[in-house]
Amino acid sequence: MAAISKSGGDVDYFLEINQAPGESKDLQYPNTIHVSSWKWGERNSGDFGINGAGGSGKVSVDDLEVRFLASAATAPLISLCTTGKHFPTARLICRKNGASEPLTFLTIELSKCLISSYRIGGNTSMSHSNGNEVSGLEEVQSRPVEVVTINFQEFHIEYTPQNGDGGLAGGPKVFKYNRATNSVG
């Protein structure tokens, strides 16, 4: 197997949107967007309060939020958000790098998607190049950071358990949900 380039961290995150290719040079996930952080969740308004029966309400699913450095995907993402154009899929890939072979342990695939928000911002930070001496202070300019949220109709999650050394520990655990029909599977 060919070597896989890594960010140097324990975990790499990639976002794959065919309509907005990124600049990842990773051999396993080329032309994806290298994600620095992401978050997603859902809430269920169940109620144990009245009679203790614990009836469940309808789930409220959040948009997937991803953060990454500005890249070749910037203009296509702005276009997708501005026009409201739908696209078939987006895929968030989470890969562990500590094992002898990198392991994709979590994949979140979204279907019938749109970019529901787009933000970009930047800052200039200061760093000391010679220890703590103020005379060594120099400006470090970083690329702007983009924050994108993706709305979707369906999601499919696949998680692969790992053992202590980072290898596989059983088959994948999967869950699929359609928000429009409120159905599992």
Q: Which residue has the higher pLDDT, 43 or 4?
A: 43
Say which CATH topology domain 11-41+58-184 has. Pnp Oxidase; Chain A (2.30.110)
Whether the full predicted model's pTM is greater than 0.85, yes or no, is no
SS3 at position 134:
helix
Cα–Cα distance measured from residue 176 to residue 108, given in angstroms and rounded to the nearest whole number: 10
- Specify the length of the chain in residues: 185
CA dihedral 144, 147, 18, 39 (to 10 degrees): 130
Position 88 pLDDT exceeds 60: yes
Position 129 pLDDT exceeds 70: no
Helix ranges (H only) for 27-129 are 74-83
* Range with lowest mean pLDDT among 88-92, 94-98, 143-147, 165-169: 165-169
Helix ranges (H only) for the chain are 74-83
How does the average pLDDT of the chain come out, rounded? 85
pLDDT tens for 131-184 read 544 444 444 457 899 999 999 999 999 999 988 777 788 899 999 999 999 899
> Which pLDDT band holds residue 2 (cuts at 50, 70, 90)?
very low
Give mean pLDDT, residues 124-128.
Answer: 60
Give mean pLDDT, residues 65-87.
Answer: 98
Which position has the token pair 């997937």? 64
Give mean pLDDT, residues 113-121.
Answer: 98
SS3 at position 53:
coil
**Angle formed at CA 58 by CA 54 and CA 60, multiple of 5 degrees:** 120
Position 106 pLDDT exceeds 80: yes
* For the chain, the helix, strand and coil percentages under 3-state DSSP, each to the nearest 5: 5, 50, 45
Output the pLDDT for position 140.
Answer: 47
Q: Report how far Cα 105 is from the mean position of its chain's Cα atoms.
A: 13
SS3 at position 4:
coil
